[in-house]
């Protein structure tokens, strides 16, 4: 069974960059009838906060992306310790006593010589006496995973295609700090094994991590999952702005962006599939395919998001929005106005025009006379679903007006607006008495 995981660190709010990764994992699991899990990578106790974890869960719930399960790395330290002991016994991890300053000097020397800043494995040559001397100074070791330099690293990435790394050109990664806390690399591999993750879907900034983690899977006697590394998200300026890289998903919710809009855009940008105004995730799931992903950065444009949101709202059914509409607003009113609003909250404006009061517009003399005549005609007509057509046909025959000269003064008098929903749908919702009152007021100003 396909099992994917979204593994955010609860050190901040969910933003569009990591949301895109979550969407890819979720869609791939759904596409294959599998499971999508949430894993809180909260090994950094100082920076991880439960408020952020709750926010991540709330954002995923709002988007309709409820995980099939959740684990927390902070609950799994005993598992990491046991596997670490195995790797230590097999010689796959080793202690190092260099300070941060000493390592920095080594990197600068290597770069100055035109060499890659790869760790020189000096710790492997330490004698027992040297180790005892370091410990007598109060030094505690950090730990590195020992890469097999004789074993080339290769995998067929679902997005990037065949990948190849020479292990001797990579530094043995630090997996544990001197204070005993864990870094990302090893716990992530252990969790993927223990959870049964079949597909690791993440950004291309993790490609080099994958190279070293492949050898960790082998050292732990486990098969590798499949990997898919998507090109990173950028903004309109060519990179993801600091604002977009930090603003929480709640900001889009507060701005009236629909959940399906974010999913529809983030699922398709960076692929060969068009971004389309869908109201259900089914077509996104059905057509989700890593072979359609490009290698170029995916550009996130807030203006495109707003335009897509408007198109989607124009297709939303009443049942999808009824809980967010003004009290008393029924299906006919929603259908009448949805094509003229940018967010669902915008329906309140038109509902007030239908059922509330408007400012009496100022018309010129001829239009005031025309509106007064319209009131007289309307008062004698049967008020039903076809009243707009009946009224305008009668006025056209009686006054000779047509086109804009016929329709615009009526629209302004009845709604206070020059543009808006189709008056044939709006006038029955305004109602006979209110319409007569507004025509009388507009003709008297």
Please report whether residue 150 resides in a domain.
yes
Identify whether the C-beta of residue 159 lies closer than 8 Å to the C-beta of residue 230: yes
On whether both 329 and 369 belong to a single domain, the answer is no
Q: Which of 354, 379, 409 is the endpoint of a domain? A: 354
On whether both 344 and 368 belong to a single domain, the answer is no
CATH code assigned at 373: 1.10.10.350
CA distance 409 to 398: 16
On whether both 406 and 347 belong to a single domain, the answer is no
| Alpha-carbon radius of gyration of the chain | 32
Q: What is the pLDDT of residue 236?
A: 75
CA distance 124 to 147: 13
Pick from 196, 176, 219, 194: nearest CA to 86: 219
Q: Record the pTM.
A: 0.91
Structural domain span for residue 343: 318-354
Q: Supply the mean pLDDT for the chain.
A: 95
CA distance 218 to 360: 77
Please report whether residue 401 resides in a domain.
yes
Q: How many domains does the chain have?
A: 3
Task: Write the pLDDT tens digit of every residue in 30-48.
Answer: 999 999 999 999 998 888 9
Please report whether residue 379 resides in a domain.
yes
Identify whether the C-beta of residue 26 lies closer than 8 Å to the C-beta of residue 6: yes
Task: Write the pLDDT tens digit of every residue in 128-145.
Answer: 999 999 999 999 999 999
Please report whether residue 26 resides in a domain.
no
Task: Write the pLDDT tens digit of every residue in 178-198.
Answer: 999 999 999 999 999 999 999
Whether 7 has a pLDDT exceeding 60, the answer reads yes
On whether both 93 and 172 belong to a single domain, the answer is yes
Q: What is the pLDDT of residue 46?
A: 87
Structural tokens at position 50: 């439960």
Please report whether residue 399 resides in a domain.
yes
Identify whether the C-beta of residue 375 lies closer than 8 Å to the C-beta of residue 436: yes
On whether both 401 and 343 belong to a single domain, the answer is no
Whether 116 has a pLDDT exceeding 90, the answer reads no
106 appears as a binding residue in the annotation:
no
Q: Which of 142, 176, 210 is the endpoint of a domain? A: 176
Burial of residue 99, with CB atoms counted within 10 A of its CB: 0-12 exposed, 13-18 middle, 19 or more buried: exposed
Mean of pLDDT values over 144-148:
98
Q: Is 180 helix (H, G, I), strand (E, B) or coil?
A: coil
Burial of residue 50, with CB atoms counted within 10 A of its CB: 0-12 exposed, 13-18 middle, 19 or more buried: exposed
Identify whether the C-beta of residue 189 lies closer than 8 Å to the C-beta of residue 162: no
């Amino acid at each position: 069974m396909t099992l994917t995981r979204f593994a955010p660190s609860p050190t901040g709010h969910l933003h569009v960059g990591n949301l895109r990764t979550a969407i890819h994992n979720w869609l791939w699991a759904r596409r294959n009838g599998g499971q999508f899990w949430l894993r809180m990578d909260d090994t950094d106790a100082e920076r991880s906060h439960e408020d952020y974890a709750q926010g991540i869960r709330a954002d995923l719930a709002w988007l309709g992306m409820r995980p099939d399960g959740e684990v927390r790395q902070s609950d799994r330290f005993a598992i990491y310790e046991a596997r670490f002991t195995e790797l230590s016994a097999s010689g796959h991890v080793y202690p190092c006593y260099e300070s941060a300053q000493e390592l920095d000097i080594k990197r600068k020397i290597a770069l100055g010589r035109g060499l890659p800043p790869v760790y020189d494995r000096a710790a492997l040559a330490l004698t027992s006496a040297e180790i005892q001397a370091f410990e007598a100074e109060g030094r505690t070791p950090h730990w590195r995973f020992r890469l097999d330099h004789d074993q080339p690293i290769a995998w067929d990435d679902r997005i990037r295609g065949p990948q190849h790394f020479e292990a001797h050109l990579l530094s043995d990664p630090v997996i544990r700090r001197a204070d005993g806390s864990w870094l990302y690399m090893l716990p992530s591999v252990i969790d993927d094994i223990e959870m049964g993750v079949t597909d690791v879907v993440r950004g291309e900034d993790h490609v080099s991590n994958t190279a070293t983690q492949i050898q960790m899977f082998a050292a732990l006697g486990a098969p590798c999952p499949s990997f898919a590394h998507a090109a990173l998200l950028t903004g309109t300026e060519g990179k993801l702005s600091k604002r977009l890289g930090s603003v929480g998903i709640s900001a889009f919710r507060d701005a009236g962006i629909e959940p399906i809009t974010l999913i529809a855009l983030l699922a398709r940008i960076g692929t060969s599939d068009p971004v389309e105004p869908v109201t259900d995730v089914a077509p996104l799931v059905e057509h989700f395919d890593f072979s359609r992903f490009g290698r170029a950065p995916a550009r996130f444009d807030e203006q495109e998001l707003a335009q897509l949101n408007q198109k989607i709202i124009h297709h939303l059914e009443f049942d999808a929005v009824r809980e967010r509409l003004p009290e008393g607003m029924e299906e006919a009113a929603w259908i009448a106005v949805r094509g003229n609003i940018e967010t669902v909250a915008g329906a309140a404006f038109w509902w007030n025009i239908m059922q509330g009061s408007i400012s009496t517009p100022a018309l010129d003399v001829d239009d005031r006379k025309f509106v007064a005549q319209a009131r007289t005609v309307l008062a004698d007509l049967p008020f039903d679903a076809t009243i707009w057509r009946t009224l305008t046909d009668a006025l056209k025959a009686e006054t000779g007006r047509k086109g804009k000269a016929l329709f615009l003064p009526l629209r302004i008098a009845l709604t206070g607006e020059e543009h808006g929903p189709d008056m044939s749908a709006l006038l029955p919702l305004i109602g006979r008495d209110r319409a007569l009152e507004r025509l009388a007021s507009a003709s008297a100003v």
